[in-house]
A and B are shown apart, each in its own frame.
Chain A
Amino acid sequence: MSAHDLRPEAGLAADIADALAERVMPVLRSHGGGVWVSSLEDGVLEVQWQGACVGCPLRPMTVAAVLEPAFEDIEGVERVEAGVRLSPRTRERLRACVHPAQPRRDAREGMAR
Chain B
Amino acid sequence: MFVFDCVLHAYDNSDNNLRDDLPDAELARAIGNFAPLREAVHGPDDKGGSGYQTHHRWTPEELYDIEFSGTSVDLAMAQTVPVFDWYRDGMAPVSANYEFASKYPDKVLFCGGIDPVYHGGTAFDEMTRQKEEWGARAFKFYNAHVDGKTWACDDREVAYPVYEHAQDLGVDVLQFHKGFQLGTSNIEDLRPNDIQRAARDFPDMKFVIYHLGVPYFEECLSIAARFPNVYLALSANVAYGYLRPRVFYKQLGYLLSEVGADRLFFGSETPILGNPEPQIQFVRDLKMPEQLQDDYGFPEITEDDKRKILGENFAKLLNIPIPVAQA
Binding site for B on A (CB under 8 A): 54-57, 59-60, 83-87, 89-90
Instruction: Name the residue on A nearest B254 (C-beta).
Output: A57
What residues of chain B lie closer than 8 Å to A83, measured between beta carbons?
A: 260
Cα-based distance from A44 to B71 in the complex (angstroms)? 39
What residues of chain A lie closer than 8 Å to B293, measured between beta carbons?
A: 87, 89-90
User: A89–B294 contact, CB under 8 A?
Assistant: yes
What residues of chain A lie closer than 8 Å to B62, measured between beta carbons?
A: none
What residues of chain A lie closer than 8 Å to B294, measured between beta carbons?
A: 87, 89-90
Of the stretches B43-51, B178-186, B201-209, B295-303, the one at the interface is B295-303
User: A85–B222 contact, CB under 8 A?
Assistant: no
Cα-based distance from A55 to B294 in the complex (angstroms)? 22
User: A87–B225 contact, CB under 8 A?
Assistant: no
Cα-based distance from A56 to B294 in the complex (angstroms)? 21
What does the 1/0 interface line of B253-265 toward A look like (CB < 8 Å)? 0001110100000
Instruction: Name the residue on B nearest A93 (C-beta).
Output: B297
Is B149 part of the contact surface with A, judged by Cβ < 8 Å?
no
Given contacts A90-B293, A90-B294, A90-B297, contact A85 B257 (CB under 8 A): yes
How many chain B residues touch A (CB < 8 A): the figure is 15
What does the 1/0 interface line of B293-315 toward A look like (CB < 8 Å)? 11001111000000000000000
Most buried by B among A84, A87, A89: A87
Cα-based distance from A56 to B258 in the complex (angstroms)? 8
What residues of chain A lie closer than 8 Å to B260, measured between beta carbons?
A: 83, 85
Task: Given contact pairs A54-B225, A84-B258, A85-B257, enumerate 17 new A-B contacts (beta carbons under 8 Å).
Answer: A54-B226, A55-B222, A83-B260, A84-B257, A85-B260, A85-B299, A86-B257, A86-B297, A86-B299, A87-B288, A87-B293, A87-B294, A87-B297, A87-B298, A87-B299, A87-B300, A90-B293
Q: Would you give 30 A-B contacts (Cβ < 8 Å), ordered by A?
A: A54-B225, A54-B226, A55-B222, A55-B225, A55-B226, A56-B225, A57-B222, A57-B225, A57-B258, A59-B258, A60-B257, A60-B297, A83-B260, A85-B256, A85-B257, A85-B260, A85-B299, A86-B257, A86-B298, A86-B299, A87-B288, A87-B293, A87-B294, A87-B297, A87-B298, A87-B299, A87-B300, A89-B293, A90-B293, A90-B297
B217, chain A: closest CB distance, angstroms: 13
What residues of chain A lie closer than 8 Å to B297, measured between beta carbons?
A: 60, 86-87, 90
Cα-based distance from A64 to B210 in the complex (angstroms)? 33
Cα-based distance from A85 to B257 in the complex (angstroms)? 5
Instruction: Name the residue on A nearest B305 (C-beta).
Output: A85
Cα-based distance from A24 to B260 in the complex (angstroms)? 23
- B258's partner among A55, A87, A89, A90 (CB-CB below 8 A) is A55
What does the 1/0 interface line of B212-231 toward A look like (CB < 8 Å)? 00000000001001110000
Cα-based distance from A59 to B257 in the complex (angstroms)? 10
Cα-based distance from A56 to B222 in the complex (angstroms)? 8
A7, chain B: closest CB distance, angstroms: 35
What residues of chain A lie closer than 8 Å to B227, measured between beta carbons?
A: 55
What residues of chain B lie closer than 8 Å to A86, measured between beta carbons?
A: 257, 297-299
Cα-based distance from A55 to B221 in the complex (angstroms)? 9
Instruction: Name the residue on B nearest A86 (C-beta).
Output: B297
Instruction: Name the residue on A nearest B258 (C-beta).
Output: A57
Cα-based distance from A57 to B258 in the complex (angstroms)? 7
Most buried by A among B260, B294, B297: B297
Cα-based distance from A54 to B288 in the complex (angstroms)? 25
Instruction: Name the residue on B nearest A59 (C-beta).
Output: B258
What residues of chain A lie closer than 8 Å to B256, measured between beta carbons?
A: 85
Cα-based distance from A90 to B256 in the complex (angstroms)? 15
What residues of chain A lie closer than 8 Å to B225, measured between beta carbons?
A: 54-57
